Amino acid sequence: MQAVQKYNAIMTGNEAVAFGAKLARVGFISAYPITPQTTIVEKLAEMVANREISAHYVEVESEHSAMAAVFASELVGVRSYTATSSHGLLYMHEMLHWTAGQRLPVVMSVVNRALGPPWNIWTEQTDSMNQKETGWLQVYCESNQEALDSILMGYKIAESPDVLLPLMSMEDAFILSHTSEPVILPDQDQVDSFLPPLNLSFRVDLKNPMGYGSYSTPDGPYMELRKDMMDSLRNSRKVISKVTKEFGETFGRNYSGLIEKFMMEDAEYAIIASGTLASTGKYVVSKLRQEGKKVGLIRVRFFRPFPDLEIAEAVTDLKGVGVIDRSTSYGSAGPTALEVRSALYGKSEIPVAAFIAGLGGRDVKVEDFEKMFQYVEQGKTGNFYINVKEAC
Protein backbone atom coordinates (compact mmCIF):
# COMPACT_ATOMS: atom_id res chain seq x y z
CA MET A 1 0.00 0.00 0.00
CA GLN A 2 2.92 2.30 0.61
CA ALA A 3 3.52 2.74 -3.09
CA VAL A 4 -0.08 3.80 -3.69
CA GLN A 5 -0.21 6.59 -1.14
CA LYS A 6 2.07 8.90 -3.10
CA TYR A 7 -0.61 9.43 -5.78
CA ASN A 8 -2.47 12.65 -5.08
CA ALA A 9 -5.12 12.60 -7.81
CA ILE A 10 -7.09 10.29 -10.06
CA MET A 11 -7.86 11.56 -13.53
CA THR A 12 -8.14 10.70 -17.21
CA GLY A 13 -5.17 10.89 -19.58
CA ASN A 14 -6.71 13.94 -21.22
CA GLU A 15 -7.00 15.76 -17.90
CA ALA A 16 -3.44 14.74 -17.05
CA VAL A 17 -1.99 16.30 -20.21
CA ALA A 18 -4.08 19.44 -19.67
CA PHE A 19 -2.47 19.73 -16.22
CA GLY A 20 0.90 19.11 -17.91
CA ALA A 21 0.34 22.10 -20.20
CA LYS A 22 -0.81 24.20 -17.24
CA LEU A 23 2.22 23.26 -15.14
CA ALA A 24 4.52 24.00 -18.11
CA ARG A 25 3.06 27.55 -18.01
CA VAL A 26 2.15 27.57 -21.68
CA GLY A 27 1.41 31.10 -22.84
CA PHE A 28 -0.59 30.28 -25.95
CA ILE A 29 -3.10 27.56 -26.77
CA SER A 30 -4.88 27.09 -30.07
CA ALA A 31 -7.64 24.58 -30.39
CA TYR A 32 -9.94 22.98 -32.87
CA PRO A 33 -11.95 20.17 -31.29
CA ILE A 34 -11.85 16.59 -32.49
CA THR A 35 -12.99 13.52 -30.57
CA PRO A 36 -11.48 12.01 -28.47
CA GLN A 37 -8.86 14.66 -27.65
CA THR A 38 -11.60 17.27 -27.13
CA THR A 39 -11.56 17.01 -23.35
CA ILE A 40 -7.91 18.20 -23.31
CA VAL A 41 -8.77 21.55 -24.83
CA GLU A 42 -12.07 21.65 -22.90
CA LYS A 43 -10.15 21.35 -19.64
CA LEU A 44 -7.65 23.99 -20.74
CA ALA A 45 -10.48 26.33 -21.82
CA GLU A 46 -11.99 25.89 -18.34
CA MET A 47 -8.62 26.67 -16.71
CA VAL A 48 -8.22 29.80 -18.84
CA ALA A 49 -11.81 30.90 -18.09
CA ASN A 50 -11.24 30.39 -14.35
CA ARG A 51 -7.94 32.32 -14.59
CA GLU A 52 -6.02 29.31 -13.30
CA ILE A 53 -3.58 29.89 -16.15
CA SER A 54 -2.81 33.10 -17.97
CA ALA A 55 -2.48 31.61 -21.45
CA HIS A 56 -3.98 33.23 -24.52
CA TYR A 57 -6.57 30.77 -25.88
CA VAL A 58 -7.55 30.99 -29.52
CA GLU A 59 -10.28 28.95 -31.15
CA VAL A 60 -9.48 28.44 -34.81
CA GLU A 61 -11.47 27.13 -37.75
CA SER A 62 -9.34 24.06 -38.52
CA GLU A 63 -6.36 22.01 -37.37
CA HIS A 64 -4.28 23.48 -40.18
CA SER A 65 -4.95 26.89 -38.65
CA ALA A 66 -4.36 25.55 -35.13
CA MET A 67 -0.80 24.65 -36.10
CA ALA A 68 -0.36 27.90 -38.04
CA ALA A 69 -1.39 29.81 -34.89
CA VAL A 70 1.07 28.04 -32.61
CA PHE A 71 3.75 28.47 -35.29
CA ALA A 72 3.25 32.24 -35.10
CA SER A 73 3.04 32.46 -31.31
CA GLU A 74 6.10 30.27 -30.82
CA LEU A 75 8.01 32.43 -33.30
CA VAL A 76 7.47 35.48 -31.10
CA GLY A 77 8.95 33.48 -28.22
CA VAL A 78 5.84 32.27 -26.40
CA ARG A 79 5.66 28.66 -25.20
CA SER A 80 2.76 27.25 -27.24
CA TYR A 81 0.56 24.17 -27.12
CA THR A 82 -2.17 22.45 -29.03
CA ALA A 83 -3.72 18.98 -29.16
CA THR A 84 -5.36 16.95 -31.86
CA SER A 85 -6.19 13.47 -33.09
CA SER A 86 -6.65 11.34 -36.17
CA HIS A 87 -7.92 13.31 -39.18
CA GLY A 88 -7.18 16.55 -37.37
CA LEU A 89 -3.51 15.60 -37.25
CA LEU A 90 -3.56 14.69 -40.94
CA TYR A 91 -5.09 18.05 -41.77
CA MET A 92 -2.16 19.70 -39.92
CA HIS A 93 0.43 17.79 -41.89
CA GLU A 94 1.65 20.68 -44.04
CA MET A 95 2.10 22.96 -41.04
CA LEU A 96 3.96 20.22 -39.13
CA HIS A 97 6.72 20.44 -41.73
CA TRP A 98 6.71 24.24 -41.43
CA THR A 99 6.97 24.18 -37.65
CA ALA A 100 9.88 21.75 -37.69
CA GLY A 101 11.57 23.49 -40.64
CA GLN A 102 11.39 26.82 -38.78
CA ARG A 103 12.92 25.02 -35.76
CA LEU A 104 10.08 25.95 -33.39
CA PRO A 105 9.97 23.90 -30.15
CA VAL A 106 6.18 23.52 -30.00
CA VAL A 107 4.78 20.64 -27.94
CA MET A 108 1.54 18.99 -29.05
CA SER A 109 -0.54 16.17 -27.61
CA VAL A 110 -1.89 13.62 -30.05
CA VAL A 111 -4.61 11.16 -29.12
CA ASN A 112 -3.95 8.21 -31.42
CA ARG A 113 -7.09 7.27 -33.29
CA ALA A 114 -7.96 5.35 -36.46
CA LEU A 115 -8.55 6.93 -39.86
CA GLY A 116 -11.64 6.59 -42.01
CA PRO A 117 -13.31 5.22 -43.92
CA PRO A 118 -15.12 3.58 -42.30
CA TRP A 119 -15.46 6.01 -39.39
CA ASN A 120 -13.79 4.63 -36.28
CA ILE A 121 -13.14 6.66 -33.15
CA TRP A 122 -10.97 4.02 -31.41
CA THR A 123 -7.24 3.81 -31.02
CA GLU A 124 -4.64 3.18 -33.72
CA GLN A 125 -1.25 4.79 -34.30
CA THR A 126 -1.35 5.23 -38.07
CA ASP A 127 -2.25 8.93 -37.66
CA SER A 128 0.99 9.84 -35.88
CA MET A 129 3.11 7.27 -37.77
CA ASN A 130 2.09 9.20 -40.89
CA GLN A 131 3.94 12.20 -39.37
CA LYS A 132 7.28 10.49 -38.70
CA GLU A 133 8.89 12.21 -41.68
CA THR A 134 8.00 15.73 -40.52
CA GLY A 135 11.02 16.39 -38.29
CA TRP A 136 9.03 16.27 -35.03
CA LEU A 137 10.22 14.25 -32.07
CA GLN A 138 7.70 11.56 -31.13
CA VAL A 139 7.10 10.04 -27.72
CA TYR A 140 4.49 7.33 -27.09
CA CYS A 141 3.09 7.13 -23.55
CA GLU A 142 1.84 4.07 -21.67
CA SER A 143 0.20 5.72 -18.64
CA ASN A 144 -1.54 8.94 -17.65
CA GLN A 145 1.44 9.83 -15.47
CA GLU A 146 3.81 9.50 -18.40
CA ALA A 147 1.42 11.54 -20.58
CA LEU A 148 1.58 14.38 -18.03
CA ASP A 149 5.32 14.10 -17.45
CA SER A 150 6.04 13.96 -21.19
CA ILE A 151 4.65 17.47 -21.63
CA LEU A 152 7.10 18.79 -19.01
CA MET A 153 10.07 16.81 -20.35
CA GLY A 154 8.90 17.52 -23.90
CA TYR A 155 9.28 21.30 -23.62
CA LYS A 156 12.67 20.96 -21.98
CA ILE A 157 13.92 18.61 -24.71
CA ALA A 158 12.39 20.56 -27.62
CA GLU A 159 13.62 23.93 -26.34
CA SER A 160 17.20 22.75 -25.83
CA PRO A 161 19.54 24.80 -28.10
CA ASP A 162 20.94 21.43 -29.26
CA VAL A 163 17.49 20.31 -30.49
CA LEU A 164 15.11 23.20 -31.31
CA LEU A 165 12.53 20.97 -32.92
CA PRO A 166 8.87 20.38 -32.09
CA LEU A 167 7.69 17.33 -30.14
CA MET A 168 4.44 15.40 -30.24
CA SER A 169 3.41 13.26 -27.29
CA MET A 170 0.99 10.42 -27.95
CA GLU A 171 -1.69 8.78 -25.85
CA ASP A 172 -3.85 5.89 -27.07
CA ALA A 173 -7.46 6.94 -27.60
CA PHE A 174 -9.79 5.89 -24.76
CA ILE A 175 -7.24 3.44 -23.30
CA LEU A 176 -5.42 6.51 -21.91
CA SER A 177 -7.44 9.52 -23.05
CA HIS A 178 -10.66 8.49 -21.30
CA THR A 179 -9.24 6.16 -18.65
CA SER A 180 -9.07 7.39 -15.06
CA GLU A 181 -5.88 6.34 -13.25
CA PRO A 182 -4.04 7.56 -10.17
CA VAL A 183 -1.41 10.20 -10.94
CA ILE A 184 1.02 12.37 -9.04
CA LEU A 185 0.35 16.02 -9.79
CA PRO A 186 3.67 17.79 -9.19
CA ASP A 187 3.97 21.13 -7.40
CA GLN A 188 4.25 24.21 -9.57
CA ASP A 189 7.45 25.23 -7.74
CA GLN A 190 9.03 21.88 -8.56
CA VAL A 191 8.06 22.24 -12.22
CA ASP A 192 9.35 25.82 -12.34
CA SER A 193 12.73 24.69 -11.03
CA PHE A 194 12.87 21.95 -13.67
CA LEU A 195 11.51 23.93 -16.63
CA PRO A 196 12.67 27.55 -16.92
CA PRO A 197 10.77 30.03 -19.13
CA LEU A 198 11.32 29.80 -22.88
CA ASN A 199 14.10 31.99 -24.18
CA LEU A 200 14.03 31.58 -27.96
CA SER A 201 17.21 33.08 -29.40
CA PHE A 202 15.79 33.84 -32.85
CA ARG A 203 12.31 35.11 -31.95
CA VAL A 204 10.60 37.89 -33.86
CA ASP A 205 11.69 41.17 -32.27
CA LEU A 206 10.31 44.47 -33.51
CA LYS A 207 13.48 46.24 -32.40
CA ASN A 208 15.65 43.83 -34.30
CA PRO A 209 13.85 42.98 -37.55
CA MET A 210 14.96 39.87 -39.45
CA GLY A 211 13.61 37.77 -42.29
CA TYR A 212 12.12 34.36 -41.50
CA GLY A 213 11.52 31.39 -43.76
CA SER A 214 12.32 33.34 -46.89
CA TYR A 215 13.85 31.66 -49.93
CA SER A 216 16.64 29.30 -50.85
CA THR A 217 17.87 28.19 -54.25
CA PRO A 218 19.25 24.68 -54.76
CA ASP A 219 22.70 26.12 -54.11
CA GLY A 220 21.49 28.03 -51.08
CA PRO A 221 21.33 26.78 -47.53
CA TYR A 222 18.24 24.57 -48.02
CA MET A 223 20.03 21.21 -48.12
CA GLU A 224 22.36 22.23 -45.29
CA LEU A 225 19.38 23.27 -43.15
CA ARG A 226 17.75 19.89 -43.77
CA LYS A 227 20.93 18.02 -42.85
CA ASP A 228 21.11 20.10 -39.70
CA MET A 229 17.57 18.95 -38.80
CA MET A 230 18.68 15.35 -39.25
CA ASP A 231 21.79 15.92 -37.14
CA SER A 232 19.76 17.64 -34.40
CA LEU A 233 17.24 14.82 -34.31
CA ARG A 234 19.92 12.14 -34.22
CA ASN A 235 21.78 14.04 -31.50
CA SER A 236 18.61 14.78 -29.52
CA ARG A 237 19.04 11.34 -27.87
CA LYS A 238 21.77 12.90 -25.69
CA VAL A 239 19.42 15.70 -24.62
CA ILE A 240 16.62 13.17 -24.04
CA SER A 241 18.90 11.13 -21.73
CA LYS A 242 20.02 14.24 -19.86
CA VAL A 243 16.52 15.67 -19.42
CA THR A 244 15.09 12.29 -18.42
CA LYS A 245 17.79 11.99 -15.75
CA GLU A 246 17.17 15.53 -14.48
CA PHE A 247 13.46 14.78 -14.37
CA GLY A 248 14.13 11.71 -12.24
CA GLU A 249 16.30 13.72 -9.87
CA THR A 250 13.67 16.47 -9.52
CA PHE A 251 10.48 14.42 -9.33
CA GLY A 252 11.66 10.94 -8.33
CA ARG A 253 10.07 9.33 -11.39
CA ASN A 254 12.62 7.62 -13.56
CA TYR A 255 11.87 7.15 -17.23
CA SER A 256 14.46 5.36 -19.26
CA GLY A 257 15.33 7.57 -22.21
CA LEU A 258 14.45 6.30 -25.67
CA ILE A 259 13.50 2.73 -24.72
CA GLU A 260 12.46 0.95 -21.54
CA LYS A 261 13.64 -2.60 -20.88
CA PHE A 262 11.27 -4.80 -18.85
CA MET A 263 12.50 -8.13 -17.44
CA MET A 264 15.23 -8.24 -20.08
CA GLU A 265 18.19 -9.23 -17.85
CA ASP A 266 18.20 -12.95 -18.70
CA ALA A 267 15.52 -12.93 -21.40
CA GLU A 268 15.82 -15.20 -24.43
CA TYR A 269 12.81 -13.85 -26.31
CA ALA A 270 11.30 -10.39 -26.31
CA ILE A 271 8.50 -8.33 -27.77
CA ILE A 272 8.97 -4.73 -28.83
CA ALA A 273 5.88 -2.53 -28.42
CA SER A 274 4.83 1.04 -27.67
CA GLY A 275 1.97 2.87 -25.97
CA THR A 276 -0.53 0.94 -23.88
CA LEU A 277 0.25 -2.28 -25.77
CA ALA A 278 3.56 -2.22 -23.89
CA SER A 279 1.71 -1.92 -20.58
CA THR A 280 -0.47 -4.98 -21.21
CA GLY A 281 2.65 -6.64 -22.67
CA LYS A 282 4.43 -6.18 -19.33
CA TYR A 283 1.49 -7.80 -17.56
CA VAL A 284 1.77 -10.80 -19.91
CA VAL A 285 5.57 -10.98 -19.53
CA SER A 286 5.16 -11.13 -15.74
CA LYS A 287 2.59 -13.91 -16.18
CA LEU A 288 4.82 -15.91 -18.55
CA ARG A 289 7.79 -15.46 -16.21
CA GLN A 290 5.75 -17.13 -13.47
CA GLU A 291 5.32 -20.04 -15.87
CA GLY A 292 9.12 -20.21 -16.20
CA LYS A 293 9.48 -18.63 -19.64
CA LYS A 294 12.50 -16.38 -20.16
CA VAL A 295 10.73 -13.50 -21.89
CA GLY A 296 11.00 -9.73 -21.72
CA LEU A 297 9.66 -6.58 -23.31
CA ILE A 298 11.28 -3.55 -24.90
CA ARG A 299 9.08 -0.47 -24.88
CA VAL A 300 9.72 2.09 -27.59
CA ARG A 301 9.14 5.46 -25.88
CA PHE A 302 10.66 7.65 -28.57
CA PHE A 303 9.94 6.75 -32.18
CA ARG A 304 11.73 9.88 -33.40
CA PRO A 305 14.62 9.87 -32.99
CA PHE A 306 14.32 6.12 -33.55
CA PRO A 307 16.25 4.15 -30.91
CA ASP A 308 18.10 1.99 -33.46
CA LEU A 309 21.36 1.75 -31.50
CA GLU A 310 19.54 1.11 -28.24
CA ILE A 311 17.36 -1.68 -29.68
CA ALA A 312 20.30 -3.34 -31.47
CA GLU A 313 22.15 -3.41 -28.15
CA ALA A 314 19.12 -4.66 -26.19
CA VAL A 315 18.46 -7.66 -28.44
CA THR A 316 22.12 -8.78 -28.75
CA ASP A 317 21.78 -11.90 -26.60
CA LEU A 318 18.21 -12.85 -27.58
CA LYS A 319 17.15 -15.89 -29.61
CA GLY A 320 14.18 -14.14 -31.19
CA VAL A 321 12.19 -10.91 -31.14
CA GLY A 322 8.69 -9.83 -32.15
CA VAL A 323 7.56 -6.31 -33.01
CA ILE A 324 3.97 -5.16 -32.55
CA ASP A 325 2.59 -2.30 -34.60
CA ARG A 326 -0.82 -0.76 -34.08
CA SER A 327 -0.46 0.85 -37.50
CA THR A 328 0.29 -0.07 -41.08
CA SER A 329 2.54 1.03 -43.88
CA TYR A 330 0.44 -0.35 -46.71
CA GLY A 331 2.37 -2.46 -49.18
CA SER A 332 5.19 -2.99 -46.69
CA ALA A 333 4.87 -3.84 -42.98
CA GLY A 334 4.34 -2.14 -39.62
CA PRO A 335 6.43 1.05 -39.21
CA THR A 336 8.19 -0.15 -36.04
CA ALA A 337 9.02 -3.51 -37.61
CA LEU A 338 10.59 -1.75 -40.61
CA GLU A 339 12.73 0.39 -38.32
CA VAL A 340 13.76 -2.56 -36.15
CA ARG A 341 14.77 -4.69 -39.15
CA SER A 342 16.78 -1.75 -40.45
CA ALA A 343 18.39 -1.23 -37.04
CA LEU A 344 19.45 -4.88 -36.81
CA TYR A 345 20.76 -5.17 -40.39
CA GLY A 346 24.42 -6.16 -40.32
CA LYS A 347 24.40 -6.29 -36.50
CA SER A 348 22.26 -9.27 -35.61
CA GLU A 349 20.97 -12.44 -37.24
CA ILE A 350 18.10 -13.06 -34.81
CA PRO A 351 14.69 -13.78 -36.31
CA VAL A 352 12.27 -10.83 -36.27
CA ALA A 353 8.52 -11.51 -36.39
CA ALA A 354 6.37 -8.51 -37.29
CA PHE A 355 2.85 -8.29 -35.90
CA ILE A 356 0.04 -5.92 -36.79
CA ALA A 357 -2.55 -5.90 -34.01
CA GLY A 358 -5.35 -3.85 -32.55
CA LEU A 359 -6.25 -1.76 -35.60
CA GLY A 360 -9.32 0.41 -35.20
CA GLY A 361 -9.23 -0.18 -31.44
CA ARG A 362 -9.65 -3.97 -31.58
CA ASP A 363 -8.75 -5.15 -28.10
CA VAL A 364 -5.35 -6.87 -27.95
CA LYS A 365 -6.01 -9.51 -25.32
CA VAL A 366 -3.72 -11.48 -23.06
CA GLU A 367 -4.13 -14.56 -25.29
CA ASP A 368 -3.12 -12.48 -28.32
CA PHE A 369 0.17 -11.62 -26.59
CA GLU A 370 0.66 -15.27 -25.63
CA LYS A 371 0.20 -16.25 -29.27
CA MET A 372 2.73 -13.63 -30.39
CA PHE A 373 5.26 -14.90 -27.85
CA GLN A 374 4.68 -18.44 -29.21
CA TYR A 375 5.50 -17.20 -32.73
CA VAL A 376 8.66 -15.54 -31.43
CA GLU A 377 9.75 -18.69 -29.58
CA GLN A 378 9.18 -20.68 -32.79
CA GLY A 379 11.62 -18.35 -34.56
CA LYS A 380 9.08 -17.05 -37.07
CA THR A 381 10.28 -14.19 -39.29
CA GLY A 382 7.30 -13.12 -41.38
CA ASN A 383 4.59 -10.47 -41.11
CA PHE A 384 1.45 -11.49 -39.25
CA TYR A 385 -1.94 -9.94 -38.53
CA ILE A 386 -3.08 -10.90 -35.04
CA ASN A 387 -6.73 -11.73 -34.26
CA VAL A 388 -7.98 -10.83 -37.71
CA LYS A 389 -11.14 -12.51 -38.96
CA GLU A 390 -10.79 -14.66 -42.05
CA ALA A 391 -13.60 -13.11 -44.04
CA CYS A 392 -16.07 -10.33 -43.53
Partner 1 sequence: MFEVRFHGRGGQGAVTASEILAHAAFNEGKYAVSFPFFGTERRGAPVTAFTRIDDGPILIKTQIYNPDAVVILDPYVMTRGDVLSGIKNEGYLLVNTPQDPARLGSESKKATVDATSIAIARGLGDRTNPIINTSMIGALARITGLIDRESAIDAVRELSPRKKEENAMAAADAYDSVRMGWVR
The site for partner 1 (CB under 8 A) is made up of 1, 3-5, 7, 10, 35, 121, 174-175, 178-182, 276, 279-280, 282-283, 286, 363-366
- Rank residues 10 and 223 by Cβ distance to partner 1 and give the closer one: 10
Residues 259-268 as b or e (16 or more Cβ within 10 Å = b):
bbbbbbeebe
- Rank residues 136 and 262 by Cβ distance to partner 1 and give the closer one: 262
Shortest distance, position 253 Cβ to partner 1, whole Å: 12
**Beta carbons within 10 angstroms of residue 191's beta carbon:** 18
CA distance 215 to 222: 9
203: left (phi over 0), alpha (psi -120 to 50) or beta: beta
End-to-end Cα, the chain, rounded Å = 48
- Rank residues 3 and 391 by Cβ distance to partner 1 and give the closer one: 3
Shortest distance, position 260 Cβ to partner 1, whole Å: 13
Shortest distance, position 138 Cβ to partner 1, whole Å: 20
Shortest distance, position 258 Cβ to partner 1, whole Å: 21
Shortest distance, position 92 Cβ to partner 1, whole Å: 24
- Rank residues 283 and 345 by Cβ distance to partner 1 and give the closer one: 283
- Rank residues 77 and 182 by Cβ distance to partner 1 and give the closer one: 182
Which has the closest alpha carbon to 79: 148, 14, 166, 193?
A: 166
- Rank residues 79 and 362 by Cβ distance to partner 1 and give the closer one: 362
- Rank residues 142 and 377 by Cβ distance to partner 1 and give the closer one: 142
Shortest distance, position 318 Cβ to partner 1, whole Å: 22
Shortest distance, position 16 Cβ to partner 1, whole Å: 13
